[in-house]
Amino acid sequence: MSGKLEYDEPRVVIRGVLADTDVDYVRNFFRRYRSRILDSGRLVVDFRDSPGIDSVTAVVLQGFCNELRRAGVRVSFENTPRSVMEIFESLSKFESAASDFKNRVSLGETLEFIGRSWYEMASTVAGLGRFLLETLGAFLQVLLTPMKIRWHMILYYMEESGYKAVPIVATLNWLLGVVLGYQAGYQMRIFGAENFMPTLLAYSITWEIGPMLAAVLVAGRSGSAYAAEIGTMKVREEVDALRVMGFDIFNYLVVPKMMALLFVMPFLVLLANISGVLGGMVSGMMFLDLPAGTFVSKLGGAVIPLDILWGMLKSVVYAVIISTVGSYMGMRVRGGASAVGRATTAAVVMSIFMVIFADAMLSLLFVHIRPGLSF
């Protein structure tokens, strides 16, 4: 059922019950008659044919009445049923509170907000550090008592985070290898230097791009999955249940994930490197008239074991970062399902950030351990 408004200067007569579907109708009505009401300087809202009103329409109606009052119009209500009076009274009680609410973002509060978010950031990092220490503690404890290692869980996570990531890691790195090879070769050809492409490509892929892309993919696939898994268990009191059964949460939930990633990450990086270089070879053959044989012999002269090892070593750091951040974000979940969603996002963003940060640090510190390239 919906209501109708009629303007009969100075009266607005309401017929029927104004429902929440009538909001636009009410707005348009008042817009249309606004100037006439202002001219007459008087408004009587007449409920004689209306037994009630929805609060949704009432708040709109009241808004117009207040606005008109401020413009100097004398507004009055007539024949208002008790129930409608109560709705208006309750609305006006909260109206001023609501406008206070909206105006609350002052400069001071903005600054306070910024300060607080920095503080929260700092406390997150501090919490993460503590969490990492506790995980490492549990990790060592497990290593000392190998019977306690939960092999079936480690295998499960190795399959989920490692084996199942093979196609995407291989494909994307291959594709990137093709593109990089083409880009580099295209530019180097200007100097007639396209023969150096294989070496440069292999260097950039094994030292930076391969490990990084593999880590980013694992963070997106598994870091988020860890956060979601633990977060959901947290929300459903499963974590509490495990704790009161005397389970060590770190040992049960966190260590298997970290161990699994420690096992699979080096191999994912190896795979990423190989597929990236293969991509470069393909692009050499297709775009630069560089036969596969030449490509391989160039590589053979340039690539040293350290190139392969270094990425695998870095990946150990990435594995610790991704599993710790994912589990920590899941553990921090409080409240309901939406908190789980936020935790997964936070896990991905935070672990990618930290992976890149760690990579930058490692590269700055160790760039000189690699002897100069021999082209």
Partner 1 sequence: MDAVIKVEGLRGGWDRLPVLDGVDFRVMEGEILMIVGRSGCGKSTLMRHMLGLIKPWAGRILFRGIDVWSNPDAMLNARRRWGVTFQSGALLGNLSILENVMLPLREYTDLTEREMITVAFSKLETVGLAEFATANPMEVSGGMQKRAGLARAMALDPEVLFFDEPSAGLDPVTSAKLDNLIKSINRSLGTTVIIVTHELASIFAISDRVIMLDAETRGIIATGTARELRDGSTDPRVRAFFRRNVGEESD
Binding site for partner 1 (CB under 8 A): 232-233, 236-238, 240-247
Nearer of residues 192 and 246 to partner 1, judged by Cβ = 246
For the chain, percent helix, then strand, then coil, each to nearest 5? 80, 5, 15
State which H helix or E strand residue 46 sits in: strand 42-49
Least CB distance to partner 1 at residue 351 (A): 23
Closest CB to partner 1 among 128 and 228? 228
Between CA 6 and CA 269 the distance in angstroms is 74
* Minimum distance, C-beta of residue 242 to partner 1, in the bound complex (Å): 8
- Angle at the Cα of 212 from the Cα atoms of 345 and 214, rounded to 5 degrees: 75
Q: In the complex, what is the shortest distance from the CB of residue 178 to partner 1, in angstroms, rounded to a whole number? A: 40
Residue with tokens 């260590």: 255
CB of residue 41 to partner 1, shortest distance in Å: 52
Provide DSSP, 103-124: TT--HHHHHHHHHHHHHHHHHH
Cis peptide before 10 (omega within 30 of 0): yes
- DSSP 3-state of 193: coil
Whose Cβ is closer to partner 1: residue 239's or residue 329's?
Answer: 239
Angle between helices 255-287 and 305-331 (to 10 degrees): 130
Q: How far is the CB of 229 from partner 1 (least distance, A)?
A: 8
Q: What's the Rg (C-alpha) of the chain?
A: 33
The residue among 237 and 289 lying less far from partner 1, judged by its C-beta, is: 237
- Residue (69 or 236) nearer to partner 1, CB: 236
Measure the CA–CA gap between 325 and 331, rounded to whole angstroms.
Answer: 10
Q: Does residue 83 contact residue 48 with C-beta atoms inside 8 Å?
A: no
Nearer to partner 1, 6 or 238 (CB): 238
Please, which residue, 120 or 289, has the CB nearer to partner 1?
120
Judge whether 69 and 103 are in contact, CB under 8 Å.
no
**Whole-angstrom Cα distance, residue 160 to residue 183?**
34
Distance CA 26, CA 19 (A): 10
* Shortest distance (Å) from residue 257 CB to partner 1: 14
| Shortest distance, position 241 Cβ to partner 1, whole Å | 4
